[in-house]
Amino acid sequence: MPMFVDTSPPGQCIFCRLVAGEIPAALVYEDALTIAFMDIGQVTPGHVLVATRRHAATLLDTTPEEAAAVMQTARRVALAVQAAFAPPGLTLLQANGALGGQTVAHFHMHVVPRHEADGITLSWPRKEPPAAVLAGYAERLRAAL
Ligand SMILES: [Zn+2]
């Protein structure tokens, strides 16, 4: 389980306060829709968070423009991380909801430099259902789009 979970009301969360300049942060980049800053947890050196400027709790609460802007900023930051830290790997992580692993309910994406034996793990239990089951899932999603 994460060591830190922000349970502040919407608009008063730690990232909104950071955007407002009410708390200090090691800023990396900001534009009209996004802000990028060093994660205080620094899982590995160069670990950056890219967040929306506006409070949007999860991906589902973002506008298409905000979602696109966060990915564009994440790409830009990833290029800078590569240039500045030269990690042999890089992971982008974006979590939604407590069960999804989200600890601050303000949309953000982690840009994490990766190294051999860096201690980061992600369990990925493959289920491999039959093709007919997959087709049924796809049909449900096509109907929802
Ligand atoms: Zn917020």
Which residue carries 């800078």 as its tokens? 80
Give the active site residue among 47, 106, 108, 115: 108
Distance 134 CA to ligand 1 centre (A): 36
pTM of the model: 0.92
Instruction: Using only the alpha carbons of the chain, give its radius of gyration.
Output: 17
Inter-residue contact 92 to 112 (CB < 8 Å):
yes
HSE of 57, CA atoms in CB hemisphere, 13 A: 10
Write out the residues surrounding ion ligand 1, Cβ under 5 A.
13, 15-16, 55, 106
User: Looking at the predicted structure, is the pLDDT value of residue 47 above 80?
Assistant: yes
pLDDT at 2 over 70: no
User: Residue type for 95, please?
Assistant: A
Query: What is the tens place of the pLDDT at every residue in 68-77?
Result: 999 999 999 9
Q: Which two tokens stand for residue 107?
A: 């949309």
Show the tokens assigned to 143.
């109907």
pLDDT at 12: 82
**Is residue 115 annotated as a catalytic residue, yes or no?**
no
